[in-house]
Amino acid sequence: MKRADVVADPNPADLAPEGWAQALFDGIDDAVFVHDLQGRILRANPAACQRLGYTREEMLHLTTRDIDDPEFAAGFGDRLRNQLAQGQARFEGRHRTKDGALIPVDINTSAIVIDGKPAVLAVMRDITHHKRAEEALRKQTELLQSILANMADGVLVADQAGRLLVSNPEAGRLFGLGAEDVGSTDWPWHFGLSLPDTMTPFPGGTLPLAQATRGEPVGEVELFVRHAGAPQGCWVSVTGGPLRDARGEIKGGVLVCRDISGRMHAERRQAAQYAVTRVLAEADTLEDAAPAMLRAIGEGLGWQVCGLWTVAPGGQELRCVAAWHRPGLPVEEFVEASLRLTCPRGVGLPGKVWAEGKEAWVCDEAAYAHYPRYPAALRCGLHGGFAFPVKSGGETLGVIEAFGGDLERPDEGLLSMMAALGSQVGQVLERHRIERALRESEAFYHSLVESLPQNIFRKDLQGRVTFGNQRYCATLRRPLEDLIGKTDFDLFPADLAAKYREDDRRVQESGATLDVVEEHVLPGGRKIYVQVIKTPICDGQGLVIGTQGMFWDVTERKRAEEALAGSERRYRQLTEATLDGIVVADRSGRVTLFNPAAERIFACRAGEVVGQPLEVLIPPQYAEGHAQGFERYLQTGLARIVGRTVELEGQRKDGTIFPLELALSVIGGDPERGCEGPDVQFLGAVRDLTERNRIRAVLVQQEKLASIGLLSAGVAHEINNPLAFVANNLAVLERDNKGLLALLELYHDNAGPLARADPDVAARAAALAEEIDLDYIRGNLPRLLNRTRDGVDRVTRIVQSLRGLARTDSPRKQETHLPDLVDNTLEIMRGRLRRRGIEVELDYDPLPRVSCVSTQIGQVLLNLMVNAVQAIEACPLAVPGRVGVRILRQEKEMLIEVSDNGCGIEEEYVSRLFDPFFTTKDVGEGTGLGLSISHNIVTGHGGRIEVKSRPSEGSTFRVFLPLHPLRDAP
């Protein structure tokens, strides 16, 4: 929509003041509208209609909330109150056009009166281009900041007044600048350039910053800068130029800075290393090279004092053989103290490096306050020190040290350089030492070989003798001049000479030492044993040029060793053949011998135990007591178990604890010193008591059961007498009761005549009958007597069953009716079965007879029945209990099967059910011997017992007895 479509341009000459205002309202380029205090638009100029896309009529039906962005519209009330309070207001917002586009606007409002009512005049200016420019500037600024933050070089910008305008992170690191320095004229780098480090040369004294702000380009200038963040300083390369505005006028300077410390250090270190190499190559001795070498190191690396220490004769201390210091520094006191000082291992900085064989440094006073030269170092201003070893072949031959006012911890590059320098100097020291030692060793060698009791000789590659000591000449009974040039074939029998020649060839070709004991023939023909050692002789280039050998008579030792070997062989055969475990330990408590019987007892191999402490065979709870007793015996010689046979517990490889019998004795050692002798050993003869204890437990249990049987028989016998008395009296009572009941019937039938004859007596009789419930007695007394008779009969049967189980006569097999044994067992358990509500199912073979010891098989049945009932009682669910007993003939065996629907047995326990003392019951509810004894009884009858069980599904025990047992069966 064009503005001409809204209103025609009036002629200004024809307008009155009101007309001028209207013309201005309609012709202004900014959008203008008037709204009341509720936000309803009362007037709108053409520019407002054009920008928002509405006609004038549409605008006059809208409110400010219709043309404002929703977020901006929400603040209408706050803006209105602020405007009314101040009269005028200005703020930024966003308008929404008819087609939904958003326009950022700058709004000026004034309070006016329209038709006598307060209103608001709002003038809006489109600031879209301004916002776009601001956003572009923001993005450009962020991009510039990102570039500066990620630049590897430092960037500094300052104005002509020296005020810091820009500093990126790298520049801050290089010059120690912080955020507080931006905008300041007193920033550290500016101050540092005014007073540069003495190591930095400036041609003509012109500083880079002054040069840049004067409009001059700054070429590559190398600065050495120190600050709190880099007390050791760093090298910086600076380039830059003037900072100009759009008109080309100079407004300041720009500097680009790069850290070149690594390159500078590498160049200085390389120069120092080259200088040291040149000095060492040109000097004849280390004493001549030391001063120049130390000067090259100190000047090249910026150190103030350097010293060289070497190992003094005797090898017990270090001495400072040369020292250098930077000219003009007052450090003479420290240098003189170094030249006077000797450092044993670990004393002072050189002694520490010598002892540890690696570099060391101290960067503060407290770090070396205990060093001997500490006071002199402080007085000379030397607060840091560094030292590295001079090595050759891994041996520390000396130490080079350096001191300065403030030395930092060396980096990897410096450490690598120092290692190389130390190796160079070490090679020189080693060469001098070798030359000196070679001269001394020649004299020492000849003196030594002539005084040794061994026969020493040397031969060339052809086997010709080139040297022999006096002992060698005496053994061969020839002077040395007769031996020189001779071969073994000239001196010994042919077969022996051939062996010696082959030995020489093998030593020369392999380079290995030959060390052997062999037979040797003396010139008189006597044979002896000699210990022979042969080694190759090499020249300076490492080439083998001959053989050196020595030998000595070991005949007596050889015979003693053979005798000892025979003794040890017999001893080992004895220990390996014995059935008892033999364990030998030394005075430190470590196993030295572990025979095969011990391997079987402790279930581990000798290789796993020999060399280990005895504690591996001892349960943990006894280990501390063993250690205390062992130590007490070694100290006092008093022992509690040495020389005695005691029962203890041992531990197998899998951790199983088992009983054992130990006979401990002490062997070897010095008879006069006793247990203090170095060769004392302790021999223990061990016997596994597991089987013996098991048999003992079975016997004890059988004796216990026999005692219980005797007691049961006695109790049953004693009960029989009162039972017979009660039974007889009960028979009389039953007989008399019949007469009494007949009398009561007679009384009852004649109650009427009795009442008529004597009413009082009849009344008393009726009252007494009522009191004692005569009708109940008449109806139930016979039944009560019958039940009492049944109870007495049952007690009699139980007593008879106990007497049968408790028979103590010698076991003898006889034909036994197996159901009778089952009935006796059920009779004993009937009360328990009834209380638990357990149903018993019986299934007998038509001919259930077998030859057995009835009391023993009865004991087996009782044990199986008791276990079945206990399994049902242990079942967590209240299911109806069921026990099944089946007797069935199977070919030549009779099967007795006892099954239940109880809790069952875990599969991992089934294989151990018949082990003595094994039980799955809680503590106090079983001994673990019942099934073991039953198993022994069944196998003693020539039979077998099997079990099948699963958890929660019950168990079935099957006993198989032979129908025709062997003659020698019990």
The residues near 864 (Cβ < 8 Å, ≥ 6 apart) are: 898, 934, 957, 959
Element (H, E) at 239: strand 230-244
pLDDT at 307: 92
More confident residue, 879 or 163: 163
Largest CA distance in the chain: 171
Long-range contacts for 866-870 (Cβ within 8 Å, ≥24 apart)? Answer: 866/829, 866/930, 867/930, 867/931, 867/955, 867/957, 868/898, 868/899, 868/900, 868/902, 868/955, 869/829, 869/832, 869/833, 869/836, 869/838, 869/900, 870/902, 870/921, 870/925
508 and 461 in contact (C-beta within 8 Å)? yes
DSSP conformation class of 366? G
What does each C-alpha distance from 659 to 646, 653, 696 come to in angstroms?
A: 11, 15, 13
Task: Give which of 802, 634, 615, 778 is closest to 718, Cα–Cα.
Answer: 802
Q: How confident is the model at residue 970 (pLDDT cuts 50, 70, 90)?
A: very low
For residue 893, pLDDT over 80 is answered with yes
pLDDT at 464: 93
Where are the extended beta strands (E) located within 810-856? 814-817, 839-843, 849-852
Separation of alpha carbons 408 and 552, rounded Å: 61
How many residues belong to the chain? 970
Q: Is 938 helix (H, G, I), strand (E, B) or coil?
A: helix
Q: How many helices (H) and strands (E) does the chain have?
A: 32, 33
Separation of alpha carbons 53 and 60, rounded Å: 13
pLDDT at 13: 45
460 and 429 in contact (C-beta within 8 Å)? no
For residue 905, pLDDT over 80 is answered with yes
Separation of alpha carbons 236 and 200, rounded Å: 10
- Range ranked top by mean pLDDT from 11-15, 310-314, 773-777: 310-314
Partners of residue 955 on adjacent β-strands: 900, 949
User: What rounded mean pLDDT belongs to the chain?
Assistant: 79
- Range ranked top by mean pLDDT from 22-26, 480-484, 790-794, 802-806: 480-484
Average pLDDT value for residue range 83-107? 87
Separation of alpha carbons 884 and 898, rounded Å: 6
Residue type, 255: L
Q: Which residues of 692-709 are buried (b: 16+ CB within 10 A; e: fewer)?
A: eebeebeeebeeebeeeb
For residue 367, pLDDT over 70 is answered with no
Average pLDDT value for residue range 145-173? 81
Separation of alpha carbons 43 and 48, rounded Å: 10
Q: Is 296 helix (H, G, I), strand (E, B) or coil?
A: helix
pLDDT at 798: 65
Q: How confident is the model at residue 382 (pLDDT cuts 50, 70, 90)?
A: confident
Average pLDDT value for residue range 245-257? 84
Whether the pTM exceeds 0.75: the reply is: no
Q: What confidence tens digit (pLDDT) does each residue in 807-846 have? A: 545 567 889 899 988 988 888 788 788 888 889 999 999 8
Lowest mean pLDDT among 4-8, 422-426, 879-883: 4-8
Lowest mean pLDDT among 26-30, 290-294, 476-480: 26-30
- Residue 743 half-sphere exposure, CB side, CA atoms within 13 Å? 5
The residue to which tokens 């083998």 are assigned:
544
Q: What confidence tens digit (pLDDT) does each residue in 31-63 have? A: 898 989 888 988 898 988 988 899 988 888 889
pLDDT at 195: 38
Write out the DSSP string of 445-482. HHHHHHHSSSEEEEEETT--EEEE-HHHHHHHTS-HHH
- Tokens, residue 79: 């803006």
